[in-house]
Structures are given as C-alpha cells and as structure tokens.
Amino acid sequence: MTLIPAESVTANENPEREPPRRRRALFGLLRGHTNEFMVSLALHAAILFLISLIPVKKEAEKLKTTLIIEQTAIHEQQEIKQITDVKVSEKPVEVVDDNAEVVESEVKMDTPVETPSISEVVEAMQENAVLAGTSAEANAPPAFLGVGAGNPNAGGGLPYGYRSRSKNGQKKALSRHGGAGTESAVDLSLRWLAEHQEEDGSWDPTKYEGEWKLEKVSSTGLALLAFLGAGQSENVGNFKKTVRRGINWLNQTIDEKKDKPYFGQNYGSAIALMALSEATIFGSKPISKANANRITQYFLDIYQGTGWRYAEGYDADQSCSGWVALSLKSAKAADLEAMHSDRAQKVLESYKAWVASVTPESEGVGIYHLTEKGGRGYTAQMTWVGMFQRQFLGFPKNDPFLAKASENSLQWLNSGGWIGGEKLGDPYGIYYGTLAIFQQQGALWKAWNVKMKDSLLATQRKGDPKLFGGSWDPCPSGAVSIQGGRVMMTAMMALCLEIYYRYEAMN
C-alpha cells in the first residue's frame, strides 16, 4: 500500500481534511456574522415559500368551490328524488294558510289505492258540508274565483287561485295533492312543445296529425296555457323565449282583428283570452292586457242572456260557454278594465242562472245544448264542464248537483273508458274531469288521481323531444284530438298533470 503525502492531497480529493484558504476565509466570515445571516436566510426562505403557495391557494379555493357545487347538486338531486320517486300517492297535509310551509307529509310507498264506494263519496261530501260552516255561509251568493275576500287586490302579485304556480307553491301543492312523479313528465311535454313551435311563434296542428285548418289561435293558446300552468312565463323559467314568442304571435294576430277578435268558433277567442290574461298576471307587456281586454269586451257584448256558442245568433251550448266563462274568470283575476263594468257583473249573474239550467240537480248530468223540447247531449264531458263551472262560480262542495255528479263520476271512473283502461278516452273529458274532480277533493279525487297519473305517464311517448318524446299520440275519438292533433293532445294532457298547482282548491 502506497502512502500519499499529506501535502499532495486537495480538499476536493479529501473533504474531511482542513479546507483550503478560500473556504477557511468563508467560514471565518460566517462565524463573525452568524445571527444576521440566519435571519436573512429564514426571511428569504419564508418569502419563497409564500410565493410558491399562491397558485396552490387559488387551486385549493377553486377545488373547494367545485366541491360545494357538486355537494349542493347532489343534495338537490336527493330532494328531487324524494319527491319524484314516490310510486303511488301521498296523504294530504292540512294547511290553514296556503302560504305556510308544509310541516309534515306521510308518504306511503307501493300502497294499493282502493276505489271508494258511492256511499263513501257521499259521506265524504257530507263531511265537507259540515266543515264548510253554517247554512248561512253555504247559502251566501257565490263568489267568482279571483275576486272577493280571497283576493282583495286582483292583479296585484299572484291572485287567489294562481299562487301555487310559484316554485315553492308547486312543491307544496305536489306534496299536498298527490302529484309525486309527474314533474319530469311535465317538463318533457313542454320540451316537445318548445321543439315544435313555428318560427313565427305559433303552433300549427296540421303539421302534427291535426285537421283544424281554420286558424292557429286555439292550438297556440292551448300550448301557451301548458307553459303558463307550470309557472313558466315571458320572464321566469326555462322556456322564457318560447312563451315570449307565442305571446307576441297572439298579440300580432289579435291586432289584425281587434275590432272583432273572433277565432276558432269562439273557442279560439276564449283560449287566447285565458292565455293573455294569465300572461298579464305573470308580468306580460301592456299590449297583452289591452288585447285581453278587447276579447273580454267582445264576449260581454255578444252575450244574449244564456251562454255562448260558435258565433253570434246561435243558441248557447255548455261546451263553448265553459271555455268562455273560464276565460272571463281569468280576465277578472288579471284585473282587466272590462270586468269592472256593470255589464260584466250583470253577465255573470245571468250566466250563473243559465249554468244551473244545464246542470239539473236531480240527475247530476250536464247538458250540452238546451232546446225547446228539452236538453240534448247528457254526457260525462258536459257533466264535468258543469261541475267545474259551478265550482269556480262559487257553489259549495255539498251543492246537490255536485254531489250527484260525483256519484256519476265514480261510475265513469270505474268503467275504464276514460282513464285506467287499456287506452285513453276522449282527452276533452279527461281534461275537464281532472279539473272538476280535483276541486271536489276527498276520496273521489284520490281514486281519480291515481288512475289519471298512471294512464298519462304510461301513454306519454318517451325519448327525444325533437321527435316524439314528451308528446301523446292523438286518440281516435274526440274533437280535440282529431282536429288539434298531437299539439293540442299534448298540451291538454300536460295541463292535466299540472292540476296539482295550476289552480288552487277553490272552496
């Protein structure tokens, strides 16, 4: 082994030996200024560390925000699932104040719903009569929906009858009246209607299996009512543009015939009045209110002491009259000027008497058309139209006609010819039956609601709304389906699934 002299070994070759002169000088300098150097070193290290944290902090905040959004979305999905995944019905919650929060709702999953007997329906109606109050209150003059004590400021905010269309109101109404599982179906139907709106804002029934070539006011107005019934408007909701274009088209069309706004054998005029009145309630432009007022005045002017029909000079029928009267109710709720006149009050009082004549209490079946030889057309459809008219005109639930008509309605429900069978019946009857029986509430409504929901949800087309998804195939019977095609069929069935919040229970 050869030993190397110490003098010939450098610091790099043996770092354990004493450092050369340059390094010794550096160590000496550090020994003399240790405190200042360490402070400086720590300060610079801290600065470098903080600088390095800046992008990390931003990313952390971004990640935190993303997590919050995702957690909120999951929470909302869970809430929606709790509402929409219920398969049958809910136990209604009694709420004294319509604007109060729902405290509790008992939901029964997969519970079979028994159809009540006629005696149970009558018993329930007798209980309603007791709950209604004294006989003096029951015999008080009927109040028109949208006016009176329930709505001291018509047109201000949401009038009585329309308050459930708010987002919070819808949630409570769905829970209270058994509407679980319908929200996605309504949304899909509105998407189909939106996808098949014409460029000018109208809906053309002849393009979708319809035969009504007279004009498009009826189909456009009915489609708009489906959006408005779901709380959509020109200013609120996911379909603002669709509603705005439809309302603009109606206003332009009515302006062209403002001296005589006669459309669709008066059905179209009534539907247009309902749509423009509801649009006014939800904040439409002044032109909508002006055109609605023109149609209102037109109906008041042509009234001849009974009801309305296809044109001036015809005897009245309950079918057309029901649409006109309901449109005047909407006009009243929208606080239209024409409805403040003495003429309007006289028309309504006279009309109440005529409604009583076409809805005889002894039979509990509505008449389509009165003739010199008596009534013509005792049908389920006209019975339900008559029920709904009596209800919104203010007749109490224990009214003799409503009691007898409820018994008849139960028999029609059990027949399966309307809902609950292999296929849907006349959509006109389903629409008015749903309106009327919802207002009656009780055991009859619970039985009707389950079959109505099951039938409509089962027959709605699934898939892409640009094709057929969300629509209903037109039925082989019924004027609405045959003449209005897929557009009016879909709009009317959507309105049935909106029943829980479209109009509040009146009395």
Q: Could you list the pLDDT tens digit for every one of the 507 residues in the chain?
A: 433 333 333 334 343 444 444 444 434 434 444 455 555 555 555 555 544 544 444 444 444 434 333 443 444 344 334 333 333 333 332 222 333 332 222 222 233 334 444 444 444 444 443 333 333 333 333 344 433 333 333 334 578 789 899 888 999 999 999 999 999 999 999 999 999 999 999 999 999 999 876 679 999 999 999 999 999 999 999 999 999 999 999 999 999 998 899 999 999 999 999 999 999 999 999 999 999 999 999 999 999 999 999 887 677 899 999 999 999 999 999 999 999 999 999 999 999 999 999 999 988 999 998 764 455 678 999 999 999 999 988 888 889 999 999 999 999 999 999 999 888 999 999 999 999 999 999 999 999 999 999 999 999 999 999 999 999 999 988 888 888 999 999 999 999 999 999 999 876
**Contact criterion met (CB below 8 Å) for 176 and 102:** yes
Amino acid found at 120? E
- In the chain, the domains with their CATH numbers are 114-502 (1.50.10.20)
Rounded distance between C-alpha atoms, residue 227 and residue 221, angstroms: 10
**Contact criterion met (CB below 8 Å) for 269 and 263:** yes
Q: Under DSSP, is residue 178 helix (H, G, I), strand (E, B) or coil?
A: coil
Rounded distance between C-alpha atoms, residue 403 and residue 126, angstroms: 9
Rounded distance between C-alpha atoms, residue 115 and residue 136, angstroms: 33
Q: Under DSSP, is residue 366 helix (H, G, I), strand (E, B) or coil?
A: strand
Phi and psi, residue 147, nearest 5°: -135, 180
Residue 65 DSSP label? H
In the chain, what is the greatest distance between 2 CA atoms, to the nearest angstrom? 143
Rounded distance between C-alpha atoms, residue 504 and residue 278, angstroms: 14
Q: H or E element: which one contains 351?
A: helix 342-357
**CA end-to-end span of the chain:** 117
Rounded distance between C-alpha atoms, residue 454 and residue 458, angstroms: 6
